[in-house]
C-alpha cells in the first residue's frame, strides 16, 4: 500500500507554524490533526460556535482531500469544545454534513481553553475499505 | 474485508438522539464512541463512580458486540473522568474486566464536565488480528 | 501478521501499578498509553515543562521500541498539558525530535490535572507500512 504521506500544506489548508502535519496517511488510514477555525493564512477567525465549527470542518475536509480521502471515509472524531451544553448546535451541523446511514463515531471533551481562544477543535481518523 | 458497518442501534445499546454511530467497523477495526452510564432508553443512570463505570463498560461492550467484536479485541481506550484521584477504583474494575496478559493501552483525561452530569466516559478502538 | 503483543514491561519502561499495557501491537499498528515524566521505577520526576516532556518522550519511545517500532512510525499523538500557552516550548522539542518531512499529526488538550501532578502527558499511534 505504499509509503506514508505527510500532509503539511495543500489547497484549503491553513498555513501554520506548528511543526506537525495536518494529516498523515498510511495503509488506507488518514490521521488528522486538531483543526480550528483558521483561515488559509493560519489566522484565527472568531465567530459563533457554529461558524467556528463550520470553518474547522472545512479545514478537516481539506486535510482529508489533500491526503486522497473524503468525508465519507471518516470513522471517528474527537471534539474539544468550551461548553458541551451547546452540543445540540453541533449535532445540527452533523445532520447536515453526514448522511444518517454514514455517521462517524465521536467523543466530545469539554476543555477550559483552546489555541487562539477558539471555541471548538476537531481531530479524527478516516479509513478506506480494503477490498 | 468488505464495507464499513455503522452501528447506530442494537441489543444493549442506549437509544440516543446523537447523530453519531455507537461504533464504526472497517477493515478489522472497530471505533467506539464515548460511552456513558446510560440505560437502553438513553436515560442517564446516576451512581457512584464505579457504578457509572460499570454501566459505561456494558454499553461499550454492547457496541463492540453489535459490530462483531469482543472485549478481548480492545487495543486502546480513552477515559474522561471528573476526578483522576479516584483512578484506583477504576483500576480495580480493569483488573476484574481484563486478564493481566491482555490489558489495553489507556489514556485518562480529567475534565470539568461530561454530558448529563456523568462521572466517567469511555471511548476506544478494538482491532482483530489479520492472519 | 500474527497475534497481538501486550507491552507491559521492558527496557526503559516505567514500572507501574496501572493494570494497563504501555503499548499494544496489532497488525502493524502500535497503540501507546499516556506517558508521563516517570523514571524506570515509576517515580514521578518533577521538572520544567520541557524536562518533563523529554522524559515522557523517552518513555513513549521506549514503549515503541519494546513493540518493535521506532519514532519514525508515529502517525499521530495526543498531548495533554496544563497550560497550552507554553506550546512553543513543546514545538521546539518537536523540531528537534522529528525531521521536517516526517512530522506526526497531533491534537493538544489543556487539562486541569494530570497524574502525580505532572505537567504533560503524551499518547499516540504508530503504524508501519504494509508493502
Q: List, in sequence order, every residue forming a beta bridge with C127; answer none if it has no partner.
A: C29
Q: List, in sequence order, every residue forming a beta bridge with B78; answer none if it has no partner.
A: B107, B123
In angstroms, the Cα distances linking B52 to B47, B48, B126 are 6, 6, 22
Q: Which one is predicted more confidently, C129 or A46?
A: A46
Q: Render pLDDT for C41-64 as a digit per residue (tens, 0 to 9).
A: 999 999 999 999 999 999 999 999
> Side-chain half-sphere of A22: how many Cα atoms within 13 Å?
28
User: Contacts of residue A23 in chain C, CB cutoff 8 Å?
Assistant: 105
pTM of whole model > 0.80? yes
User: Contacts of residue B129 in chain C, CB cutoff 8 Å?
Assistant: 1-4, 26-27
Q: Give me the pLDDT at residue B1, please.
A: 52
Q: Tell me the CA end-to-end span of chain C in Å, nearest whole number.
A: 12
Which residue ranges make up each domain of chain A? 5-127
Q: Give me the pLDDT at residue C2, please.
A: 61
Q: Which of A78, A74, A81 is nearest to A107 (CA)?
A: A78
User: Contacts of residue C76 in chain A, CB cutoff 8 Å?
Assistant: 24, 31, 33, 125
Asked if C27 and B91 come within 8 Å (Cβ–Cβ), the reply is: no
Rounded Cα gap, residues A20 and B125, in angstroms: 23
Q: Give me the pLDDT at residue C108, please.
A: 95
Per-residue pLDDT of chain B (131 residues; tens, 9 = 90+): 568 999 999 999 999 888 999 999 999 999 999 999 999 999 999 999 999 999 999 999 999 999 999 999 999 999 999 999 999 999 999 999 999 999 999 999 999 899 999 999 999 999 998 86
Q: Give me the pLDDT at residue A2, please.
A: 61
ipTM: 0.95
| Contact status of C75 with chain A (Cβ, < 8 Å) | yes
Residue C44 is classified by DSSP as B
Q: Give me the pLDDT at residue A3, please.
A: 87
Q: Give me the pLDDT at residue C37, please.
A: 98
Q: Which of B106, B108, A111, B50 is nearest to C114 (CA)?
A: B108
Here the cell at position A6 is: 505527510
| Structure confidence at residue A77 as a pLDDT band (50, 70, 90) | very high
For the C5-127 domain, the top CATH level (class) is: alpha beta
Amino acid at each position: 500500500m505504499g509509503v506514508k504521506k505527510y500532509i503539511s500544506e495543500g489547497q484549503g489548508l491553513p498555513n501554520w507554524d506548528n511543526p506537525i502535519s495536518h494529516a498523515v496517511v498510511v495503509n488506507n488510514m488518514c490521521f488528522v490533526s486538531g483543526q480550528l477555525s483558521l483561515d488559509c493564512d493560519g489566522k484565527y477567525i472568531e465567530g459563533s460556535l457554529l461558524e467556528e465549527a463550520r470553518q474547522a470542518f472545512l479545514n478537516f475536509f481539506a486535510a482529508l482531500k489533500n491526503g486522497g480521502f473524503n468525508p465519507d471515509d471518516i470513522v471517528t472524531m474527537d471534539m474539544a469544545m468550551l461548553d458541551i451544553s451547546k452540543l445540540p448546535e453541533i449535532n445540527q451541523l452533523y445532520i447536515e454534513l453526514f448522511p444518517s446511514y454514514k455517521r462517524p463515531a465521536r467523543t466530545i471533551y469539554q476543555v477550559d481553553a483552546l489555541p487562539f481562544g477558539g471555541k471548538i477543535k476537531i481531530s479524527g481518523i478516516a479509513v478506506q475499505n480494503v477490498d
